[in-house]
């Protein structure tokens, strides 16, 4: 990865080289020896048992680091909310579930630089005075689990984890756990339920995890990337972190680029660069012969951006919020002009219906309705009123559930409706689509030719009838 000169908040050009992903291409980057050879664990050694924990929390707060898991909550502030004097142990739980479609950054940290994460865990645990950390990896990360487990063993053998780490009086247990294929275990309280040995059911907040989390003890939940940032911030200081990014979104972030670009992949860039630059320079531009139709900027849950919005967009929390979308987990997917948006939204809704945990009626039923309705548009036999019905169902799902999965499902639907309503309307009574022999339901193919419309279309199905689930 090369250096790129980029604008900092004060307008000066500050060169940026990747920080977290700097070493992932090197052979053996996942081993302890490699990590120690590049100065690894020195920050932990000089701080654990020596620096006052409260000052570390303050440092992270000053640095402006914001959660990289999706919500973008200021990390230092979250730590400062941790309930103290409860007589219960405090826990750190690191969220490595990485289930938001379009996101694949934590995978690279865990597989290729696990010690970086562990050093972050050690420093965080010292800062919040926790003696027990869980790292929850999604079950599908097989190499990641092996490498992280091995890394924990190596670090234990050197006395960086375990009893009296770094020859101080501080004990620290780090436990790597595996999920088993449930998106909802990425939601923080869902993950805690899973760690407790139950189904990954999210819990009502408040109480927030910082007050009563895993095992009803005060708990800090942070994303893998957030924790990986910690050791760099502690080492280099808050001002160092703030030299990149914008005033409200300081620092750098890993973005995952997928879809119709020449060079998809993970790229670590300073926050605040333009989306256009990101797609053109890092992603190498659109694939040959295709133009941009829309961009999903922050994982599947993020509302779409149209090409006009992409022109205006910069990669920071505020810019995307201003455009009615969100930075989310940093999973950017580029959709080209031939993508059939009705298939895309159907696929999206199918995902949420499948992953809803089923505790709340608006979510369990709402995602099902959205899927079925989207299926009608996908197949081309929707009713006139179905467009409005989609909007109605989506609106009624938001803000009425235990966790925000319902919102995460409703938001993309609402944005498709708002930005591409015409495409929905085109599919009302469009028998050509059912006539088409579909080889696979979820094929997101170019739209069929319009001139093959056959008369006397198929029976119009109503919601909830005759629709088989896939």
Ligand X SMILES: Cc1cc2nc3c(=O)[nH]c(=O)nc-3n(C[C@H](O)[C@H](O)[C@H](O)COP(=O)(O)O)c2cc1C
Q: Which residue ranges make up the site for ligand X (CB under 6 A)? A: 67-71, 73, 75, 95, 97-100, 186-188, 221-223, 226, 403-405, 408
Distance CA 172, CA 126 (A): 9
CA angle 25, 28, 34 (to 5 degrees): 105
Of the residues 275, 357, 417, 447, which one makes contact with ligand SF4 according to CB under 6 A: 357
* Closest residue by Cα to residue 257 from 355, 330, 149: 330
406 belongs to the binding site for ligand SF4 (CB under 6 A)? yes
**Total site size for other proteins, rule CB under 8 A:** 65
Residue 148 or 182: the one with the smaller Cβ distance to other proteins is 182
88 belongs to the binding site for other proteins (CB under 8 A)? yes
Distance CA 260, CA 292 (A): 8
Of the residues 17, 46, 55, 216, which one makes contact with other proteins according to CB under 8 A: 216
Residue 407 CA: distances (Å) to CA of 239, 240, 320, 398, 402: 36, 36, 17, 5, 10
256 belongs to the binding site for other proteins (CB under 8 A)? yes
355 belongs to the binding site for other proteins (CB under 8 A)? yes
Of the residues 24, 151, 220, 266, which one makes contact with other proteins according to CB under 8 A: 266
Distance CA 411, CA 414 (A): 5
Question: Residue 217 binds what, of ligand SF4, ligand X, other proteins, none (CB under 5 to 8 Å, by partner type)?
Answer: other proteins
Of the residues 74, 139, 284, 285, which one makes contact with other proteins according to CB under 8 A: 139
Residue 227 or 360: the one with the smaller Cβ distance to ligand SF4 is 360
321 belongs to the binding site for other proteins (CB under 8 A)? no
Residue 244 or 255: the one with the smaller Cβ distance to other proteins is 255
Give the dihedral of Cα atoms 14, 18, 23, 24; nearest 10 deg: -160
Residue 195 or 323: the one with the smaller Cβ distance to other proteins is 195
The DSSP call for residue 215 is: G
The two tokens of residue 38 are 């590049």
Of the residues 220, 402, 413, 417, which one makes contact with ligand SF4 according to CB under 6 A: 402
* Closest residue by Cα to residue 295 from 282, 309, 280, 314: 309
- 295 bridge partner residues: 305, 334
Distance CA 223, CA 346 (A): 29
The DSSP call for residue 291 is: -
Crossing angle of helices 405-419 and 341-355, rounded to 10°: 170
Which stretch in 9-17, 19-27, 116-124, 262-270 sits in contact with other proteins by CB under 8 A? Answer: 262-270
Residue 271 CA: distances (Å) to CA of 242, 305, 313: 10, 18, 12
Residue 33 CB, shortest distance to ligand X, in Å, is 29
Binding track, positions 181-210, relative to ligand SF4; x by CB under 6 A: ---x-----------------x--------
Residue 178 or 426: the one with the smaller Cβ distance to other proteins is 178
Distance CA 238, CA 246 (A): 14
269 belongs to the binding site for ligand SF4 (CB under 6 A)? no
The two tokens of residue 164 are 């009296």
CA angle 421, 303, 442 (to 5 degrees): 70
Q: In sequence order, what DSSP letters do the residues of 342-361 get, joined into one string?
A: HHHHHHHHHHHHHH--S-SH
Residue 301 CB, shortest distance to ligand SF4, in Å, is 12
> Residues in the site for other proteins, rule: CB under 8 A?
88-89, 98-104, 106-107, 132, 138-143, 173, 175, 177-183, 194-200, 215-217, 256-260, 264-266, 300, 331, 333, 335, 339, 343-344, 347-348, 351, 354-355, 357, 439-440, 442-445, 470
> Residues in the site for ligand SF4, rule: CB under 6 A?
184, 202, 356-360, 363-364, 401-403, 405-406
């Amino acid at each position: 990865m090369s250096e790129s000169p980029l604008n900092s908040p004060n307008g000066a050009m500050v060169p940026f080289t990747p920080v977290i992903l700097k070493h992932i291409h090197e052979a053996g980057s996942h081993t302890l020896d490699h990590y120690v050879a590049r100065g690894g664990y020195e920050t932990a050694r000089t701080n654990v048992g020596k620096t006052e924990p409260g000052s570390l929390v303050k440092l992270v707060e000053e640095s402006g680091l914001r959660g990289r898991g999706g919500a973008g909550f200021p990390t230092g502030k979250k730590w400062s909310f941790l309930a103290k004097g409860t007589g219960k142990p405090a826990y750190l739980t690191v969220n490595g579930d990485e289930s938001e479609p379009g996101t694949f950054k934590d995978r690279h940290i865990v597989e290729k630089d696990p010690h970086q994460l562990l050093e972050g865990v050690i420093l965080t645990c010292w800062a919040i005075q926790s003696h027990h950390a869980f790292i929850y990896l999604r079950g599908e990360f097989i190499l990641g689990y092996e490498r992280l487990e091995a890394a924990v063993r190596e670090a234990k053998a050197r006395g960086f984890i375990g009893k009296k780490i770094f020859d101080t009086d501080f004990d620290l247990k780090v436990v790597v756990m595996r999920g088993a294929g449930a998106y909802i275990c990425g939601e923080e309280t869902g993950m805690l339920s899973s760690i407790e040995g139950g189904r990954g059911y999210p819990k009502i907040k408040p109480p927030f995890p910082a007050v009563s989390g895993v095992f009803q003890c005060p708990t800090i939940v942070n994303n893998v990337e957030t924790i990986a940032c910690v050791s760099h911030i502690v080492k280099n200081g808050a001002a160092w972190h703030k030299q990149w990014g914008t005033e409200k979104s300081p620092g750098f972030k890993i973005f995952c680029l997928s879809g119709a670009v020449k060079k998809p992949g993970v790229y670590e860039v300073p926050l605040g660069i333009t989306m256009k630059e990101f797609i053109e320079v890092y992603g190498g531009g659109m694939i040959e012969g295709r133009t941009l139709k829309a961009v999903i900027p922050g994982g599947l849950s993020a509302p779409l951006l149209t090409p006009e919005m992409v022109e205006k967009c910069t990669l920071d929390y505020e810019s995307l919020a201003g455009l009615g979308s969100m930075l989310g987990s940093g999973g950017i997917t580029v959709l080209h002009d031939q993508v059939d948006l009705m298939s895309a939204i159907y696929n999206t809704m199918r995902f949420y219906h499948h992953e809803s945990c089923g505790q709340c009626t608006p979510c369990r039923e709402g995602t099902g309705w959205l899927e079925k309705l989207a299926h009608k548009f996908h197949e081309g036999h929707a009713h006139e009123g179905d467009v409005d019905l989609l909007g109605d169902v989506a609106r009624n799902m938001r803000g009425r559930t235990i966790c925000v999965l319902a919102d995460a499902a409703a938001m993309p639907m609402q944005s498709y409706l708002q930005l591409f309503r015409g495409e929905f309307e085109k599919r009302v009574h469009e028998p050509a689509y059912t006539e088409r022999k579909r080889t696979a339901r979820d094929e997101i193919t170019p739209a069929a030719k319009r001139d093959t419309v056959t008369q006397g279309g198929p029976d119009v199905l109503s919601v909830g009838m005759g629709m088989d689930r896939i």
